[in-house]
Amino acid sequence: MKFGQQLRESLFPDWKFYYVDYSGLKRFLYERTDKGYTADDESEFVKLLDSELEKVNNFQQTKSSEMKRRIEYCEKQVDLITQNPAPEDAKREQLDIIEREIDAVIGEVYELAKFTRLNFTAFMKIVKKHDKNAPFVLKPMFAEQLNSRPFFKENFDELLLELSRLYNIVRNGGVDVDGSKDPQSGNGQNFVRQTTKYWVHPDNVMELKLYILKYLPVLIYRTKGATKPPNPAITSIYFDNDKLDLYQGRLEKSEGAEAIRLRWYGDMDSTEIFVERKTHHEDWTGEKSVKERFSIKEKYVNDYLAGEYTLDSKIERLREEGKKSEQDLHDMETLSREVLESVKTKHLEPVVRSFYNRTAFQIPGDARVRISLDTELTMVREDSFDGKPRAGNNWRRTDIGVDYPFSQLPEQDVCRFPYAILEVKLQTQSGVEPPQWVLDLIDSHLVEAVPKFS
């Protein structure tokens, strides 16, 4: 299907006059190039394109502000309803009205996300057609125009979080009952656990998020004293040698195969780095594969990997504070020693970085359904196998942060995975079916099952 037809069939009818006039711009190009494209034609085309960009940007900003006002209105109405001494049945009826308004807002947020995506694609395609058919190059200049009116950078996460919180409160009769619960509590033992993964096309990400939040709130891990949601980025540096022995062992599922990575959450200024080891065990051993980790301050990472720093002082402090059992402290010391031994004997170094932004959905204290959606998954080279010292003497390269899509990197150093990854974890009693909405989701057009994907 040609893009012009796709645009016509995908636009939201109520907003049809605010989309970029892709057909008109394309018609202008072809008519003028047939006659001999001149500098005057170029000047006129640039004005038309700029006018379209202004129209799209203004509309997107206006609608985004409108969504925020409508959400604020719903929040105030919920507060009024919960403070009203009316009977519970009357309150429930009023909350149902608010829920319908939230549904309407969700519908428009989805359309606005699609509006943003379609128009950005339209601009990219029309500029590409221009540079192919006209005797002028427009792409560099238009990139500057886009950056001055960056409607395409709106990711709607702030709206998503507010809608999620509102839905959760309305579902619970106007009370935020989950606010003080431990997100990871409720993990009982007598259950059947099932984990499945799915690929999600970028065009379906927002629709998927909005569908899930109707049933599960967005799970937010707030650090003590934090006033805003944490950065959703998760970054890991995987270590290996020039023969990729660790990778091969994991690929072949060899007994005792290990993966060693250093991980942090959020921005580059995160001071806590987690040293993690995954160890694979075959079924015949009677042992389960395990993931172990300990944390270390970023400023000590290089010294630790060089064997010049130990966890002795940290372990002693934790012992004095009584925050860990003696077994936990022993395991921490053993793990730190064994990871360092692997680094030395196997000649491990930073090889590849994985990056993604994670949105997690779960009712705090209820582990029956847990869902995570990882977007912008990217792999970046950290190695120096080809003689290029990407990380130098550091444990990670310093020329990038969490600034997806890492456009400052040469293309041979970066691989952007084309899909988002949905992981669904179910914990149900034996013989009990998962919730119907989960079954509907995994059977929908929004996801594609990928068994054993890792």
Provide mean pLDDT across the span 418-422.
96
| Strand duo 414-416 + 448-449: pairing | unpaired
434 to 54, 422, 431: CA distances (angstroms):
47, 17, 10
DSSP 351-393: EEEEEEEEEEEEETTEEEEEEEEEEEEEEEE---TTS--SSTT
- Asked which of 73-82, 294-303, 410-419 is least confident by mean pLDDT, the reply is 73-82
| Residue entry with tokens 């002693």 | 316
Q: Across-strand partners of 262?
A: 237, 275
Residue 185 clears pLDDT 50, i.e. is over it:
no
- Asked which of 170-184, 229-243, 348-362 is least confident by mean pLDDT, the reply is 170-184
- Round the average pLDDT of the chain to a whole number and report it: 88
SS (H, E, C) 64-92: HHHHHHHHHHHHHHHHHHHHCCCCHHHHH
Residue that wins the pLDDT comparison between 193 and 142:
142
Residue that wins the pLDDT comparison between 181 and 394:
394
Question: Rounded to whole angstroms, how far apart are CA atoms 58 and 150?
Answer: 11
Place 183 in a pLDDT band, splitting at 50, 70 and 90: very low
Provide mean pLDDT across the span 28-55.
93
Contact 402, 231 (CB under 8 A): yes
Place 177 in a pLDDT band, splitting at 50, 70 and 90: low
pLDDT, position 167: 86
DSSP 281-317: --GGGT---EEEEEEEEGGGHHHHHTT---SHHHHHH
Q: How many other CB atoms are found less than 10 A from the CB of residue 221?
A: 12
Provide mean pLDDT across the span 168-197.
62
pTM attached to this predicted model: 0.79
Instruction: Give the pair of three-digit tokens for residue 209.
Output: 């998020």
DSSP code, position 303: H
Percentage of residues of the chain with pLDDT beyond 90: 59
pLDDT, position 150: 83
Tens of pLDDT, residue by residue over 344-377, are 999 999 999 999 999 999 887 777 899 999 999 9
- Asked which of 134-138, 191-195, 387-391, 393-397 is least confident by mean pLDDT, the reply is 191-195
Orientation angle between helical segments 39-83 and 157-171, nearest 10 degrees: 20
Tens of pLDDT, residue by residue over 369-413, are 999 999 999 999 999 999 999 998 899 999 999 989 998 999 999
Residue 49 clears pLDDT 70, i.e. is over it:
yes
Tens of pLDDT, residue by residue over 4-19, are 888 888 999 999 999 9
Tens of pLDDT, residue by residue over 88-128, are 888 888 888 988 999 999 989 999 999 999 999 999 999 99
Instruction: Give the pair of three-digit tokens for residue 23.
Output: 């057909």
196 to 387, 423, 451: CA distances (angstroms):
40, 6, 7
Q: Across-strand partners of 261?
A: 238, 276
Q: Count CA atoms closer than 13 A to 333's CA, side-chain side.
A: 14
What phi and psi values does residue 364 have, to the nearest 5 degrees?
Answer: -55, 135
Residue 181 clears pLDDT 70, i.e. is over it:
no
pLDDT, position 228: 65
Q: Which residues of 81-95 are buried (b: 16+ CB within 10 A; e: fewer)?
A: beeeeeeeeebeebb
Tens of pLDDT, residue by residue over 280-329, are 887 665 567 788 999 999 999 999 999 999 999 999 999 989 888 999 99
- Cα torsion angle, 254, 255, 260, 264, sign: positive
Question: Rounded to whole angstroms, how far apart are CA atoms 264 and 79?
Answer: 37
Q: How many other CB atoms are found less than 10 A from the CB of residue 267?
A: 13
What phi and psi values does residue 150 have, to the nearest 5 degrees?
Answer: -85, 60
pLDDT, position 186: 46
DSSP code, position 271: -
Work out the burial of residue 362: count CB atoms within 10 Å of its CB; fewer than 13 is exposed, 13-18 middle, 19 or more buried: buried
Place 192 in a pLDDT band, splitting at 50, 70 and 90: low
Provide mean pLDDT across the span 182-209.
73
CA 37 to chain centroid, in Å, comes to: 44
